[in-house]
Amino acid sequence: MKRRLPINFSPFPVLETERLVLRRVVRSDVEDFFAIRSNPDVMHYILRPLATSHADILAVIDIIDNLIATKTGINWAITLKGENRQIGTIGYLNINESSHRAEVGFVMNANYQRMGYTMEALKAVLDYGFSEMKLHVIEAMVNPDNKASYLLLEKAGFTRAAMFKDYKYHNGKYVDACIYTLMEPE
Protein backbone atom coordinates (compact mmCIF):
# COMPACT_ATOMS: atom_id res chain seq x y z
CA MET A 1 0.00 0.00 0.00
CA LYS A 2 1.29 3.44 -0.90
CA ARG A 3 1.87 5.97 1.77
CA ARG A 4 0.33 9.43 1.84
CA LEU A 5 1.49 11.68 -0.98
CA PRO A 6 4.50 13.82 -0.04
CA ILE A 7 2.81 17.08 -1.00
CA ASN A 8 4.97 20.00 0.01
CA PHE A 9 5.08 23.12 -2.10
CA SER A 10 7.26 25.07 0.33
CA PRO A 11 9.68 26.21 -0.83
CA PHE A 12 7.94 26.52 -4.17
CA PRO A 13 9.44 24.00 -6.61
CA VAL A 14 11.01 25.85 -9.54
CA LEU A 15 11.43 23.54 -12.54
CA GLU A 16 13.92 24.09 -15.35
CA THR A 17 14.11 22.59 -18.82
CA GLU A 18 16.41 23.27 -21.75
CA ARG A 19 14.54 26.46 -22.74
CA LEU A 20 12.13 27.16 -19.88
CA VAL A 21 11.87 28.08 -16.22
CA LEU A 22 8.63 27.11 -14.51
CA ARG A 23 8.19 29.32 -11.47
CA ARG A 24 5.44 30.50 -9.17
CA VAL A 25 2.72 32.71 -10.62
CA VAL A 26 3.02 36.12 -8.94
CA ARG A 27 0.94 39.28 -8.92
CA SER A 28 3.40 41.08 -11.19
CA ASP A 29 2.44 38.55 -13.92
CA VAL A 30 -0.95 40.25 -14.20
CA GLU A 31 -0.36 41.82 -17.64
CA ASP A 32 1.07 38.65 -19.23
CA PHE A 33 -1.56 36.45 -17.58
CA PHE A 34 -4.29 38.82 -18.75
CA ALA A 35 -3.02 38.50 -22.36
CA ILE A 36 -3.59 34.75 -22.06
CA ARG A 37 -6.87 34.61 -20.13
CA SER A 38 -8.56 37.43 -22.08
CA ASN A 39 -7.86 35.98 -25.54
CA PRO A 40 -11.02 34.23 -26.80
CA ASP A 41 -9.04 32.05 -29.22
CA VAL A 42 -6.69 30.82 -26.49
CA MET A 43 -9.53 30.27 -24.02
CA HIS A 44 -11.93 28.70 -26.55
CA TYR A 45 -11.60 25.19 -25.07
CA ILE A 46 -10.83 26.22 -21.48
CA LEU A 47 -13.94 26.00 -19.31
CA ARG A 48 -13.20 29.22 -17.47
CA PRO A 49 -14.65 32.69 -17.99
CA LEU A 50 -12.68 35.12 -20.13
CA ALA A 51 -10.81 37.69 -18.09
CA THR A 52 -12.12 41.19 -18.69
CA SER A 53 -9.89 43.08 -16.25
CA HIS A 54 -6.69 42.87 -14.27
CA ALA A 55 -8.89 42.38 -11.20
CA ASP A 56 -10.10 39.10 -12.74
CA ILE A 57 -6.49 37.94 -13.07
CA LEU A 58 -5.57 38.99 -9.54
CA ALA A 59 -8.53 36.91 -8.32
CA VAL A 60 -7.20 33.91 -10.29
CA ILE A 61 -3.74 34.41 -8.75
CA ASP A 62 -5.37 34.46 -5.31
CA ILE A 63 -7.08 31.14 -6.14
CA ILE A 64 -3.75 29.67 -7.29
CA ASP A 65 -2.10 30.82 -4.05
CA ASN A 66 -4.91 29.21 -2.03
CA LEU A 67 -4.55 25.91 -3.94
CA ILE A 68 -0.85 25.88 -3.11
CA ALA A 69 -1.46 26.78 0.56
CA THR A 70 -4.06 24.02 0.94
CA LYS A 71 -1.99 21.53 -1.11
CA THR A 72 -4.93 20.88 -3.44
CA GLY A 73 -3.24 22.25 -6.54
CA ILE A 74 -0.14 23.91 -7.92
CA ASN A 75 0.38 26.10 -10.97
CA TRP A 76 3.59 27.25 -12.57
CA ALA A 77 4.14 30.29 -14.76
CA ILE A 78 5.93 29.14 -17.90
CA THR A 79 8.76 31.53 -18.75
CA LEU A 80 11.59 31.46 -21.25
CA LYS A 81 15.06 31.13 -19.72
CA GLY A 82 16.62 34.56 -19.36
CA GLU A 83 13.21 36.25 -19.46
CA ASN A 84 10.75 36.59 -16.61
CA ARG A 85 7.62 37.11 -18.74
CA GLN A 86 4.86 34.54 -18.32
CA ILE A 87 4.10 32.85 -21.66
CA GLY A 88 1.79 30.21 -20.26
CA THR A 89 0.59 28.36 -17.20
CA ILE A 90 0.72 24.68 -16.32
CA GLY A 91 -0.13 22.80 -13.19
CA TYR A 92 -2.05 20.25 -11.18
CA LEU A 93 -5.63 20.65 -10.03
CA ASN A 94 -7.85 18.32 -8.06
CA ILE A 95 -4.99 16.60 -6.26
CA ASN A 96 -6.46 13.49 -4.66
CA GLU A 97 -4.05 12.30 -1.99
CA SER A 98 -5.93 9.11 -1.12
CA SER A 99 -6.02 7.92 -4.75
CA HIS A 100 -2.58 9.32 -5.68
CA ARG A 101 -4.09 11.19 -8.64
CA ALA A 102 -4.10 14.72 -9.97
CA GLU A 103 -5.39 16.52 -13.05
CA VAL A 104 -2.89 18.39 -15.21
CA GLY A 105 -3.90 21.47 -17.16
CA PHE A 106 -2.11 24.00 -19.32
CA VAL A 107 -2.67 27.11 -21.40
CA MET A 108 -0.18 28.97 -23.60
CA ASN A 109 -0.10 32.51 -24.97
CA ALA A 110 -1.08 32.41 -28.68
CA ASN A 111 2.28 33.92 -29.69
CA TYR A 112 4.14 30.93 -28.18
CA GLN A 113 1.98 28.05 -29.38
CA ARG A 114 3.31 25.38 -31.77
CA MET A 115 6.93 25.94 -30.71
CA GLY A 116 7.27 22.89 -28.47
CA TYR A 117 7.13 24.90 -25.25
CA THR A 118 3.96 23.26 -23.94
CA MET A 119 5.37 19.76 -24.44
CA GLU A 120 8.64 20.79 -22.80
CA ALA A 121 6.79 22.19 -19.79
CA LEU A 122 4.45 19.19 -19.67
CA LYS A 123 7.35 16.73 -19.54
CA ALA A 124 8.88 18.63 -16.59
CA VAL A 125 5.57 18.76 -14.73
CA LEU A 126 4.86 15.06 -15.37
CA ASP A 127 8.31 14.16 -14.07
CA TYR A 128 7.70 16.27 -10.96
CA GLY A 129 4.27 14.68 -10.46
CA PHE A 130 5.59 11.14 -10.60
CA SER A 131 8.98 11.54 -8.94
CA GLU A 132 8.32 14.21 -6.29
CA MET A 133 4.57 14.06 -5.65
CA LYS A 134 4.52 10.25 -6.04
CA LEU A 135 1.36 10.31 -8.16
CA HIS A 136 0.08 7.02 -9.54
CA VAL A 137 -2.14 8.51 -12.26
CA ILE A 138 -2.16 11.89 -13.93
CA GLU A 139 -5.36 12.88 -15.70
CA ALA A 140 -6.23 15.59 -18.21
CA MET A 141 -9.69 16.75 -19.20
CA VAL A 142 -9.96 17.88 -22.82
CA ASN A 143 -12.72 19.04 -25.11
CA PRO A 144 -12.86 16.38 -27.87
CA ASP A 145 -12.70 19.17 -30.47
CA ASN A 146 -9.39 20.44 -29.04
CA LYS A 147 -7.18 18.46 -31.40
CA ALA A 148 -3.95 20.29 -30.49
CA SER A 149 -4.32 19.42 -26.80
CA TYR A 150 -5.31 15.80 -27.15
CA LEU A 151 -2.57 15.17 -29.73
CA LEU A 152 -0.04 16.73 -27.34
CA LEU A 153 -1.27 14.50 -24.52
CA GLU A 154 -1.13 11.40 -26.71
CA LYS A 155 2.41 12.31 -27.79
CA ALA A 156 3.30 12.53 -24.07
CA GLY A 157 1.96 9.00 -23.52
CA PHE A 158 -1.59 9.68 -22.31
CA THR A 159 -4.46 7.47 -23.44
CA ARG A 160 -8.11 8.35 -23.73
CA ALA A 161 -9.92 6.74 -20.81
CA ALA A 162 -13.45 8.16 -20.99
CA MET A 163 -15.80 10.43 -22.90
CA PHE A 164 -18.55 12.40 -21.18
CA LYS A 165 -21.38 13.87 -23.27
CA ASP A 166 -22.70 17.26 -22.13
CA TYR A 167 -20.19 17.24 -19.27
CA LYS A 168 -20.45 20.91 -18.36
CA TYR A 169 -22.67 23.86 -19.19
CA HIS A 170 -20.37 26.66 -20.38
CA ASN A 171 -21.04 29.87 -22.33
CA GLY A 172 -24.66 28.97 -23.00
CA LYS A 173 -24.18 25.39 -24.19
CA TYR A 174 -23.31 21.91 -23.00
CA VAL A 175 -19.74 20.84 -23.66
CA ASP A 176 -18.38 17.30 -23.98
CA ALA A 177 -15.18 16.22 -22.23
CA CYS A 178 -12.64 13.46 -22.71
CA ILE A 179 -10.51 12.19 -19.86
CA TYR A 180 -6.95 11.22 -20.72
CA THR A 181 -4.77 9.33 -18.25
CA LEU A 182 -1.11 8.54 -17.80
CA MET A 183 0.02 5.91 -15.31
CA GLU A 184 3.22 6.23 -13.32
CA PRO A 185 6.19 4.66 -15.10
CA GLU A 186 7.17 1.23 -13.83
In angstroms, how far is CA 86 from the centroid of its own chain?
A: 14
Write down the H helix ranges in the chain: 30-37, 54-70, 117-131, 147-155
8 within domain boundaries: no
Q: What pTM was estimated for this model as a whole?
A: 0.94
Per-residue model confidence (pLDDT) at position 128: 97
CATH number at residue 28: 3.40.630.30
2 within domain boundaries: no
Distance CA 104, CA 142 (A): 10
Helices 54-70 and 30-37, axial angle in degrees (round to 10): 100
Residue 141 phi, psi dihedral angles, 5° rounding: -105, 125
Per-residue model confidence (pLDDT) at position 8: 86
59 within domain boundaries: yes
pLDDT per residue as tens, the chain (186 positions)? 455 667 889 999 999 999 999 999 999 999 999 999 999 999 999 988 999 999 999 999 999 999 999 999 999 999 999 999 999 999 999 999 888 999 999 999 999 999 999 999 999 999 999 999 999 999 999 999 999 999 999 999 999 999 999 998 888 889 999 999 999 987
3-state secondary structure of 164: strand
Per-residue model confidence (pLDDT) at position 170: 84
7 within domain boundaries: no
The region, left, alpha or beta by phi > 0 then psi within -120 to 50, assigned to residue 178 is: beta
